[in-house]
Amino acid sequence: MRRLPPSWYQAIFLRHSRRSFMSRMPEEDKLVRLEALCREFRPYPGARAEFVRRSPDVVFKGLIGGYGRVTGAAFYIAFIGSEDGLNVEEGTGYTGEGVILEATVLGLGTCWVSGFFRPESVKEHLSLAKGERVFAVTPIGYAERNYTFKDKIYRGLAGSNKRKPGHRICDNAASEPWQEKSLEAARLAPSAANRQPWRFGLGGSSITVRTDSSKDSGRYPKRLDCGIAMLHLELGAAAAGVSGRWVALRPPEVARFEIQK
Ligand SMILES: Cc1cc2nc3c(=O)[nH]c(=O)nc-3n(C[C@H](O)[C@H](O)[C@H](O)COP(=O)(O)O)c2cc1C
């Protein structure tokens, strides 16, 4: 069975989306470590992360006329899924968040970006197989020490500091300590526009993840956000000493985490 690094659990509490970067280059050993993770962490067939050693300045775009875009990052990572693959949206979210948390462990700044980027520019930097799609990208680099004005505007618009209370995202109360830890970690997951489109159904030895509604947008699939929350949930369970496996489910359900005793 795959064992996730315990350091990723700690990183859940340190990670925040960062959009303004310093000119300081990340050290080579950190880049090599991230590149290796992108190659090796592929828990879902059809989903992958690709490290791009190019400046992402041409890749990001802003709200209006370039204003407010992610700026100054050294490099970027593309999160890619094969459109005809099974569970590819949640798989891309789960895989990408592993890479984001590892970058956080290394002290590097990140930001999932699925809206304000140009897929056509990414395609000039890497080769995609037939049927593959770039779902999102993240900048990689040293973030400015403090939030800039731009960061604060974005965070305010998205309400990035707020998370929905447990009773709005869970069907029933947690009955086990491992469930509480898992849900606490899942609640902190990032999501597009901080919409937190996940809902959790708690069983005696399982947690089922589903989307909040079947309404979705092709550009920002809710199952991708759910995949990110799934990784957090599993890391929370592991931190409580519980391991398990994911069983894929049909929409609007996404997957069920079943603990192994
Ligand atoms: C799949 C996904 C797509 C996102 N797309 C964008 C984006 O296009 N532009 C942006 O500035 N932030 C984007 N974000 C970042 C969210 O706004 C951010 O995660 C959320 O507000 C919570 O803030 P936090 O990440 O600091 O916890 C995205 C996040 C996710 C998970």
Summarize pLDDT for 66-93 with one digit per residue, the tens: 667 999 999 999 999 998 878 999 999 9
My answer on whether 171 and 145 are in the same domain is no
Domain hosting 185: range is 166-259
User: Do 108 and 175 share a domain, yes or no?
Assistant: no
Residue nearest to atom 5 of ligand 1 (CA): 113
DSSP H/E element including 258: strand 253-259
User: Tell me, what's the pLDDT at 110?
Assistant: 98
Mean of pLDDT over the chain = 95
pLDDT (tens digit, 9 = 90+) per residue, 93-113?
A: 999 999 999 999 999 999 999
With cut-offs at 50, 70 and 90, classify the pLDDT of residue 63: confident
Helix-helix angle 222-239:177-187, to 10 degrees? 140
pLDDT for the residue numbered 203: 96
* Radius of gyration, alpha carbons of the chain: 17
Phi and psi at residue 123, to the nearest 5°: -65, -20
Q: What percent of the chain has pLDDT over 90?
A: 89
- Last residue in a domain, options 106, 134, 158: 158
123 shares a domain with 71:
yes
Which DSSP category does 67 fall into? B
Probe target for ligand 1 pocket from 92, 194, 230, with the most ligand atoms within 8 Å of CB: 194
What's the distance, CA 166 to chain centroid? 20
CA–centroid distance, 174 to ligand 1, in Å, is: 27
Q: Is 90's C-beta closer than 6 angstroms to any atom of ligand 1?
A: no
User: What's the 3-state SS for 191-248?
Assistant: CHHHCCCEEEEEECCEEEEEECCCCCCCCCCHHHHHHHHHHHHHHHHHHCCCCEEEEE
Say if residue 1's pLDDT is above 70. no
Q: Whose CA is nearest to atom 9 of ligand 1?
A: 113
Residue among 14, 12, 1 at smallest CA distance from 236: 12
Q: Are residues 30 and 87 in the same domain?
A: yes
54 Cα: distance to centroid of ligand 1 (angstroms): 22
Q: Ligand 1 mean position to 138 CA, how many Å? A: 10
- Of the residues 99, 130, 158, the one at which a domain ends: 158
**Judgement on whether residues 145 and 56 belong to the same structural domain of the protein:** yes
Residue 209 contacts residue 255 (beta carbons within 8 Å): yes
Output the residue whose Cα is nearest ligand 1's atom 28.
192
Q: CB of 160 closer than 6 A to ligand 1?
A: yes
Mean pLDDT, range 218-244, rounded to an integer: 95
CA 190 to ligand 1: nearest atom: 19
Q: In this structure, what CATH number is given to the domain that contains residue 211? A: 3.40.109.30
Report the percentage of the chain scoring pLDDT > 70.
98
pTM for the full predicted model = 0.97
Task: Evaluate: CB of 104 within 6 angstroms of ligand 1.
Answer: no
> By the 8 A CB rule, do 209 and 253 touch?
yes
30 and 146 share one domain: yes
* Closest to 78 measured CA to CA, from 132, 2, 15, 25: 132
**Residue whose CA is at the smallest distance from ligand 1 atom 17:** 193
**For the domain that residue 138 is a member of, what is the CATH number?**
3.40.109.10
> For residue 38, what pLDDT is reported?
98
Same domain, 195 and 211: yes
Within this chain, do residues 125 and 14 fall inside the same structural domain, yes or no?
A: yes
Whether residues 138 and 238 share a domain: the answer is: no
Q: Can you count the helices (H) and strands (E) in the chain?
A: 8, 7
Number of separate domains in the chain: 2
The per-residue pLDDT for 66 is 64
Place 220 in a pLDDT band, splitting at 50, 70 and 90: confident
Nearest to 163 by CA among 195, 134, 135, 210: 195
Q: Which helix (H) or strand (E) holds 97?
A: helix 88-105
Is the beta carbon of 192 within 6 A of some atom in ligand 1?
Answer: yes
Whether 103 and 191 share a structural domain: no
